Structure 1
Amino acid sequence: MIRVEALPAAEGDCLWVEWTHAGRPHRMLIDGGTGRRARLPGGLADRLDGLPVHDRRFDLVVCTHIDTDHIGGLLDLFARPPEGFVADEVWFNCRDHIVPADLLGPRQGNRLAALLKARDAAWNSLVDGRAVVVPHDGTPPVFHLPGLRLTLLSPDEEGLRKLGGAWPGPAPEDAAPAQADLLGDPEDPLDLDPLDDERPVQIPWWELADDAGYEPDTHPHNGSSIAFCAEDATGARVLLGADAHAETLAASLSRLGAGRPYRVDLCKVPHHGSAHNISTALLDALDCRHWLISTHGGRALSPRSREARYRYGEGTHPSLRAMARLMRPGTRPTFWFNHRVPSTERYADASLAAELGFDAVHPDPGSDGITVLVDKGRVRRAPPV
């Protein structure tokens, strides 16, 4: 069994994954959400504080890519690690893996590289210090942790090469911090919401699902995302999609499935449910009914603002178009949300769920984060730790 906790991470990802091998618990951490000025994000801090000091060891810590809503919390974790924290292996592709350089400035990707070097971390050691990358031919590479098999799906060599041209260079100490991961172009114009009767235009869900207007994500940071499938000894499989490009994932899955959809029990939806990262081709390559969506749906407004804390509507995650694509006829998907906010609360409507044929699981009222237990062929909710 694999236990996946989507910790509250605002617009980002912070995934705590546990499994048991030889009677002993093992764990990995995938991203850390957005950092909070010299302290860990609340969800991650609380989860670490709940562990005894002698049991804060991780088999693997993954920084999937350098966007703020993924790397921020990991910077705080490695800059000021809690007592007892140990990472046996760290996966992180930096500029040194693309272009030989000694480029350690204050930007976030370079800062994490500096921290890992300073702490002499076991960094990409499973690939002999090289990049974690899917080669252009052959079967996607497989790595092993105790009791867990990891099959790498992203990035491919082209995605990593494009990151080289976009990698932030050194900047003065007083430079503005790196901008958070943008939600992209507006995906769901406010007047096209099929769930809002007050809007002047109604679009049927089947039309939203139409792939004719699909525009792929071209952001080089997202294209460099480390995404992989984790499988335990029982055959339970979890796809951890980071912000990876749909085309890269689909290509790797097609190679794994040998022309058939690749079975996955739970998929962490790439890029928080963006319409630019969920394509028909990707869904054709997958046999999956459970979809984990990690996002609070919007970007924080100024803390001084007395208006709504988050903005919703244009560009909001999860995208209506992406969700419509996931509602494939005959599949009865289940959506797992780690935040209960307007952009996810709409799927709590029982009449809509019955009409469109889906199920939705939200955090309990007044709480954030969700924990999913994954057995082969069985996915169920677990209470928070």
Structure 2
Amino acid sequence: MIRVEALPAAEGDCLWVEWTHAGLPHRMLIDGGSGRRARLPDGLADRLGRLPVHDRRFDLIVCTHIDTDHIGGLLHLFTRPPEGFVADEVWFNCRDHLVPADLLGPRQGDRLAELLRARGVAWNSRAGGGPVVVPDDGTPPVFSLPGLRLTLLSPDGEGLRKLRDAWPEPLTEDSAPDHPDLLGDMEDLFDLDPPTGEEPVAIPWGELADEAGYERDRHPQNGSSIAFCAEDTTGARVLFGADAHAETLVASLSRLGAGHPYRVDLCKVPHHGSAHNTSAALLDALDCRHWLISTHGGRALRRRSEEAQYRFGEGAQPSLRAMARMVRSGGTRPTFWFNHRVPSTERYADASLAAELDFDAVHPEPGSQGITVLVEKGRVRQAPPF
């Protein structure tokens, strides 16, 4: 069984993963949320605080890519590690894997690299110290942890080459722009400022699911995402999609599935449910019923009234287009797992909408954030609270 905790991480990802092997617990951390307040994000700090000091060891920590909402919390984790914190290995593709190391000044990715070197952490050691990358030919590489197999799906060489030419300046809380994919998914269909007091506009779910409206993600940071499938010894599988490009995932999955959809029991939806990373081709490449969506809707939510967010969902994650595609794919009733209960996810708690579109939705308990999912082969269920 694989235990996946989608910790509250605002618009970002912070995934705490645990499993048992030979009677011993093991764990992995995938990203750390944004950590914008010069300290660990509350969700990660609280979760670490539940562990005894002598048991704060991680088999692997993955920084999927250099976007602030993924790397920020990890910077604080390695800058001021809590007592007892140990990471046996870190996966992180930095500028050193792309270009000579003396070309640019300090940046967030460079800063994490400096911290890893200073602390002597085993870094990309399973990849021989080079980049964690899917080769252009052959089966995607498989890496082993005790009781867990990790099949790498992203990035490919092209994804890293494009990042080389776009290594960004560091972002601060004051200067960071809204995430480029948090704006505009719905602006072509709905007015941005609907009059208050009117009846809600019927959302054209069938039209939104149409692949003709698909535009792929072209941001190089997302294309460099480390995404992989984790499988335990019982065959339980979880796909951790990071912010990966759908096309990269499809290419890798096609090399695994031998012409058939690749079974996963749970998929962490790429890029927080962006329409630009959730294509029909990706959904067709997967045999999956359970979809984990990690987001509080995105920073753009704060620019709209709550009523507009709820009724129209413009600029918010998960995208209505992505949700419509997942609802309409596969022919089986999907279940959506949300780690935040906010207007852009609350709409799916509507029982009449769930009955109309034939899906299930699981949210955090009222007044709480974050969600924990227990994954077995052929079975996914919510964990009881601590």
Q: In which range does the TM-score fall when normalised by the shorter chain?
A: over 0.9
Given that 2:148 and 2:230 are in contact with CA atoms closer than 8 Å, whether structure 1 keeps it comes out as yes
Q: CA RMSD of the aligned region, Å?
A: 2.6
Q: Which residue of 2 aligns with 1:328?
A: 328
| Residues 318 and 175 (structure 1), Cα distance of their counterparts in 2 relative to 1, 3 Å cut | closer
Residue type at the aligned position of 1:68:
T
1:331-359 Cα distance to aligned partner (Å, 9 max, x none):
10000000000000000000110111000
Residue type at the aligned position of 1:129:
G
Q: Whose helix proportion is higher, 1 or 2?
A: 2
Q: CA deviation at 1:52?
A: 0.3
Aligned residues: 379
Unmatched segments (≥5 aa) in structure 1: none
Q: Which residue of 1 aligns with 2:10?
A: 10
Given that 1:31 and 1:63 are in contact with CA atoms closer than 8 Å, whether structure 2 keeps it comes out as yes
What does residue range 202-351 of structure 1 map to in structure 2 within 5 Å? 202-299=202-299, 313-328=313-328, 330-351=331-352
Q: CA deviation at 1:9?
A: 0.2
Mapped to 1, the partners of 2:267 and 2:104 lie a distance apart of 34
2:159 is equivalent to residue 159 of structure 1: yes
- Which 4+ residue blocks in structure 1 deviate beyond 6 angstroms? none
Question: 3-state DSSP class of the match of 1:282?
Answer: helix
Mapped to 2, the partners of 1:154 and 1:368 lie a distance apart of 29
Residue type at the aligned position of 1:333:
P
| Residues 198 and 256 (structure 1), Cα distance of their counterparts in 2 relative to 1, 3 Å cut | farther
TM-score between the two structures when normalised by the length of structure 1? 0.92
Question: 3-state DSSP class of the match of 2:328?
Answer: coil
Q: CA deviation at 1:301?
A: 7.9
- Say which is worse superposed, 311-320 or 131-140, in terms of deviation: 311-320
| Residues 188 and 301 (structure 1), Cα distance of their counterparts in 2 relative to 1, 3 Å cut | closer
Q: CA deviation at 1:198?
A: 4.0
Mapped to 2, the partners of 1:340 and 1:73 lie a distance apart of 21
What does residue range 181-196 of structure 1 map to in structure 2 within 5 Å? 181-189=179-187, 191=190
Q: CA deviation at 1:118?
A: 1.1
| Residues 8 and 175 (structure 1), Cα distance of their counterparts in 2 relative to 1, 3 Å cut | closer
Given that 2:178 and 2:300 are in contact with CA atoms closer than 8 Å, whether structure 1 keeps it comes out as no
Given that 2:21 and 2:147 are in contact with CA atoms closer than 8 Å, whether structure 1 keeps it comes out as yes
TM-score between the two structures when normalised by the length of structure 2? 0.92
Given that 1:103 and 1:170 are in contact with CA atoms closer than 8 Å, whether structure 2 keeps it comes out as no
Q: Which residue of 1 aligns with 2:62?
A: 62
| Residues 74 and 181 (structure 1), Cα distance of their counterparts in 2 relative to 1, 3 Å cut | farther
| Residues 366 and 135 (structure 1), Cα distance of their counterparts in 2 relative to 1, 3 Å cut | same
Question: 3-state DSSP class of the match of 2:190?
Answer: helix
Mapped to 2, the partners of 1:349 and 1:82 lie a distance apart of 41
Q: CA deviation at 1:260?
A: 0.3
Given that 2:65 and 2:71 are in contact with CA atoms closer than 8 Å, whether structure 1 keeps it comes out as yes
| Residues 215 and 56 (structure 1), Cα distance of their counterparts in 2 relative to 1, 3 Å cut | same
Identity fraction in percent? 80
Question: 3-state DSSP class of the match of 1:281?
Answer: helix
Q: Which residue of 1 aligns with 2:379?
A: 378
Given that 2:62 and 2:91 are in contact with CA atoms closer than 8 Å, whether structure 1 keeps it comes out as yes
Q: CA deviation at 1:101?
A: 1.6
